[in-house]
Structure 1
């Protein structure tokens, strides 16, 4: 048994020696491949100082069409959701009473016109008689007075006729604005009095944005500041000015309600949400870099400047984050080349490979011709 163990040990040593002899030595001198990075240059640009808030849109022109004369509703010509134009007939009231009153007033006007004409003739005839001393001047003056009275009565009758005609026209209700019918309040057959609502119309021609901002911005806000606005219902950006602002102090909120008017913006709708950016100021020559270029390290925020394929760490002081770019206040000059993609994996003085150079060095493969 001990001989067997000795023989097994010798065999194992022989096999180990054989494997060691057949294996290739490792290449310990092989250098690691430098990391790949994309680069760009720090640039200067005009950078706006913005404050953003999300609010709601309110319709300023949302009139309720009401009856101006008492009458019975005959027809409603615009249903909820229908788009109407300014001056379009949207409802009809019963005009029968006003038609009869108009005929009566026309008859009265015609009667007074006939009386006035006859009185004018009497005055002319009696004026000739006065010249011949057949009648006294007093009699002529009395006829002149009657003529003036008829004339004033005719003027009053004509005014009444115009009033009746005008009120009769009010039985045709017209849309006061371009808009959309929001609500139908009465139905055909209902009797309405003066002031009773009939239809409600909403218009998106003039909207007002309500934007809530924190109260600590109160000292920076002032009327006239430029505001850029967007809404989910439209692809078009609107631009307005801060019209006014007022504090909104309630038990659960401390905010400033900023008001901005929007005029004639296609697709913008009352009740929709709106995102507003107030332009508080601007930097004319701000140095900016892509957000991916700025990396957090124990020393603080850094960027890696690439010189001769070597990454040099620079500690920077940042400012505004805007549209995928970061403002650099200190630590970097405009025009310097910095790492973008791959910057998070770099260390100071690390060798790098630039992606654009690798692409330039790679030659396209050509297939062998048959």
Structure 2
């Protein structure tokens, strides 16, 4: 029988345990070194950078308003009569002088006949009176009658001539009105509303159609009362509208003196001339330049991100050949055309991360896109 001293048993047990723990430590060390290797092999975040620049920035105010047509006539009948034919329909484009409707001219023709008859009657009286004047003149020359009798006939002749002049004027007026049985378009435009139909009777001044012309439009833009003192006629104004792709540059025409009590806004107007695609009634966006600010630091809007510390940008530094980020808390101002003003926290000439800024933290090693490496990183401050 083999016997083992109990002290020897404890000794061998400790040796076995120390070997087991050593193996565990070795495995753990291997895993840690493997993890570090994987971290070293992990690709760096790819970013683009932009150099902050100091520029002159225009201070602008923007408003959304409406367009109205300055030339927006309602065409009315100029004579009384029945509508014989309407020659246009809503949405139709018409030219200046085009016939829109035809009215019954029977009454005008009868009035003209009556006026012509009156002219003929007065002309006959004048011829007869002229003969009487000639006879009386001969009798006066022979001293058969007094000169007063000649004066009476002469005065009657002058009165008839005046009547003839009035009768001819009436004929001309009726002839002129007779041409008005043809209702004409006073300007180019589009028929918005047809008010009368065939067979309707219209009086002088009754509307026939409503015409829209977009050759001259007026923009009405409400701006808050808080900036009313900075607005004045002649300030540059840039206008856009959804119905057209082009931008119109104009100036403020005038500013209504009264502030709207509901919106607390002032009505700013501007004229648009010769824009075929701009439509009355459409919305219009106006941007007015109220001033300029010199030496303003600008960066792309996407380079400014929100963090618990507030609005920040990530600047770029070079350390031992590695590009690393530094978080900078900034104070921003106005933004325009994709650029945002930096009031505090950044100087002109510093490089900031643009694409990829939203995924970064402070002191992150990054890789700059190859397209920008040759042109920008060589100037990145260390």
Q: TM-score range by the shorter chain?
A: 0.7 to 0.9
Among 196, 199, 213, which residue is 2:206 paired with?
196
Aligned to 1:243: 254
Matched position secondary structure for 2:178: helix
Among 320, 325, 333, which residue is 2:339 paired with?
325
Greater displacement, 110-119 / 141-150: 110-119
Aligned to 1:260: 269
Does residue 1:314 correspond to 2:328, yes or no?
yes
d(CA) in 1 for partners of 2:59, 2:254: 19
More helix by share: 2
- State the Cα distance separating 1:268 from its structure 2 match: 1.7
Among 86, 92, 95, which residue is 2:96 paired with?
86
d(CA) in 2 for partners of 1:271, 1:354: 50
- State the Cα distance separating 1:71 from its structure 2 match: 1.0
Does residue 1:174 correspond to 2:188, yes or no?
no
Greater displacement, 70-79 / 55-64: 55-64
* TM-score of the aligned structures, taking structure 1 as reference length: 0.79
- State the Cα distance separating 1:231 from its structure 2 match: 1.4
Mapping 1:30-49, distance limit 5 Å? 30=40, 33-49=43-59
Aligned to 2:126: 116
Structure 2 alignment gaps of length 5 or more: 1-19, 376-382
Quickly say closer, same or farther: Cα 1:63–1:51, change in 2 above 3 A. Answer: same
Assess if the C-alpha contact under 8 Å between 1:316 and 1:332 holds in 2.
yes
Among 339, 342, 352, which residue is 1:338 paired with?
352
d(CA) in 1 for partners of 2:326, 2:304: 13
Assess if the C-alpha contact under 8 Å between 1:207 and 1:263 holds in 2.
yes
Aligned residue pairs total 340
- State the Cα distance separating 1:59 from its structure 2 match: 3.4
Matched position secondary structure for 2:279: coil
Assess if the C-alpha contact under 8 Å between 1:227 and 1:242 holds in 2.
no
Assess if the C-alpha contact under 8 Å between 1:287 and 1:328 holds in 2.
yes
d(CA) in 2 for partners of 1:341, 1:93: 71
d(CA) in 2 for partners of 1:66, 1:335: 68
d(CA) in 1 for partners of 2:45, 2:290: 42
Assess if the C-alpha contact under 8 Å between 1:208 and 1:259 holds in 2.
no
Aligned to 1:10: none
Aligned to 2:367: 353
Assess if the C-alpha contact under 8 Å between 1:294 and 1:301 holds in 2.
yes
Greater displacement, 134-143 / 123-132: 123-132
Matched position secondary structure for 1:247: coil
Quickly say closer, same or farther: Cα 1:277–1:129, change in 2 above 3 A. Answer: same
d(CA) in 2 for partners of 1:359, 1:327: 25
d(CA) in 2 for partners of 1:68, 1:354: 77
d(CA) in 2 for partners of 1:188, 1:326: 63
- State the Cα distance separating 1:322 from its structure 2 match: 1.6
d(CA) in 1 for partners of 2:280, 2:195: 20
Aligned to 2:150: 140
Matched position secondary structure for 2:252: strand
d(CA) in 2 for partners of 1:77, 1:120: 52
Aligned structure 1 segments of 4 or more residues deviating by more than 6 angstroms: 358-361
- State the Cα distance separating 1:320 from its structure 2 match: 0.2
Quickly say closer, same or farther: Cα 1:284–1:166, change in 2 above 3 A. Answer: farther
> Superposition RMSD on alpha carbons, in Å?
3.2
Among 50, 61, 84, which residue is 1:74 paired with?
84
Matched position secondary structure for 1:248: coil
Cα displacement string for residues 91-136 of structure 1 (whole angstroms, at most 9, x for unaligned residues): 1111111112212322332443354355446545654664454554
